[in-house]
Homo-oligomer: A and B are copies of this chain.
Amino acid sequence: MAKQKKQPRPKAITPKGFRDYFGHEVTERAEMLQTIAGVYHRYGFDALESSAVETVEALGKFLPDVDRPNEGVFAWQEEDESWLALRYDLTAPLARVYAQYRNDLPTPYRRYAMGPVWRNEKPGPGRFRQFYQCDADTVGAPSVAADAEICAMLSDTLEAVGIARGDYVVRVNNRKVLNGVLEAMGVADDGQQAAVLRTIDKFDKVGEAGVRELLGKGRLDASGAYIDGVGLAEEQAEPVIAFLTSKGADAEATLANLRAAVGESAVGAEGVAELEQIAALLAAQGYGPDQIEIDPSVVRGLGYYTGPVFEAELTFEITDEKGRPRQFGSVAGGGRYDDLVKRFTGQAVPATGVSIGVDRLLAALREKGRVQSAERGPVVVTVMDRDRMPEYQTMVAELRQAGIRAEVYLGNPKNFGNQLKYADKRQSPVAVIEGSDEAARGVIQIKDLVLGAQIAENATLEEWKERPSQFEVPRSELVAKVRDILKAQS
């Protein structure tokens, strides 16, 4: 009855940078989230679901490389002139929730959260503006036992969802060690510190000599462009080089190298001692270096980490779009951020946690063939005679009551070929047929569509005769026969 103003037809498109998920893409993710939640829950973590919407001021500006206001988030102004925005991660909302409810929550507060987050960034291939995160954090626990627990839980989680031991490694580093290195170098200026950190991140690409050049006068890069250096003296580079090459044969060796790299720095020594404790706690629980290891190359991008940092990397190779082999790379990361709640309350509250990139992890499992790439469709009861619809509905009701996924064909039943095409598109395992002739005789036809397809593809005439894919059974045997066929298919 409501009047609709005449207007041009809207375009049926997913907004740029967003996507839709169909069928098994949705159910597989749901199953993975459930498995992860199961591990988190067993570790004593409680669920938290905050709203997708936060005030802009509560979210703060913690996205990397974002300077302009509201850049990076989707925000809008309310009628009362306040600004609201979609959350860009699950950590900022946790800090808000903890500050808000701290008198009611247990201390320490272990919580997990899972759900979509939104980033107002330029979309790229495989890079979307809405994606899932699955986080676990402990707020109010200053002890590095909390960090070790997160690492152990991350390892357990990856194995629980189907990443085999040897196919991943959780790498642990400590921000304080980095700060110790900067202190040992005698670099106190914020800008210079940031430049040194950026240089460390390039070690993989440019090697030791390249890092020395970049910390000093600069260097010509592969394209022939000259990159300005940080302008440090030659000997100032030594602690960085020692740090970058500190990874030893085992945790003990690595820790000894790190101790040398931080020299006299107190904060550096504290960082190394923390790593030592984490290593001891994890070793006591039986986690080996094939699961969790100390690795000084981990430099997490976000500015708010203050202590241990972790990263879970998948170590197997995949083939990229151009057919080249490459490592799958990072699927989770986190660390200690003791200052995030302080923004709200003025009091420092220790916190540590991890965030799993659910969609990347799911992509990795698909790569390894650990999740099925398509799901079996429902049994389709075809419609030969529109007037017998109540009987067809009764058939599917019987199948469902037996726990079998089933449906009646609800399109135009005139063309029977269309019904079988539909069953094919749905990847139906079985079709049920009952025309008036069958009805009169009290029987039904049951078609094994999987076997039928195999026979159609491969069989000789002999085989085709020997292995019928269609069976006539009494109506009363519907459920039993369908169950037999499904069993034989699986």
Q: Which residues of A are in contact with B by a Cβ distance under 8 Å?
A: 1-3, 9-15, 18-27, 30, 34, 37, 41-44, 46-55, 57-58, 60, 74-76, 84, 86, 96-97, 99-101, 106-108, 110, 116, 118, 129-130, 138, 140-143, 145-146, 148-149, 152, 156, 190, 193-194, 197, 280-281, 283-286, 303-304, 343-346, 377-378, 380, 389-391, 393-394, 396-397, 400, 403-408, 410-412, 422, 425-426
Contacts and interface: CB of A to CB of B under 8 A. Distances in A.
A281 B58 contact: no
Contact of A410 (B13, B48, B141, B343): B141
A198 to B, nearest CB: 10
Contacts of A54: 15
A86 B18 CA distance: 12
A116 B52 contact: yes
A377 B422 CA distance: 49
A110 to B, nearest CB: 7
A9 B47 contact: no
B46 A22 contact: yes
Contacts of A410: 108, 138, 141, 143, 145-146, 149
A100 B110 CA distance: 43
B149 A9 contact: no
A9 B58 CA distance: 9
A382 B353 CA distance: 21
29 contacts: A1-B194, A2-B304, A3-B190, A9-B344, A9-B345, A10-B55, A11-B58, A11-B344, A12-B58, A12-B344, A15-B53, A20-B49, A20-B51, A20-B101, A25-B49, A42-B403, A42-B404, A43-B378, A43-B396, A44-B377, A52-B116, A75-B76, A141-B410, A143-B389, A145-B410, A149-B393, A149-B408, A149-B410, A284-B391
A81 to B, nearest CB: 13
Contacts of A42: 400, 403-406
A138 B345 CA distance: 51
A74 B152 CA distance: 41
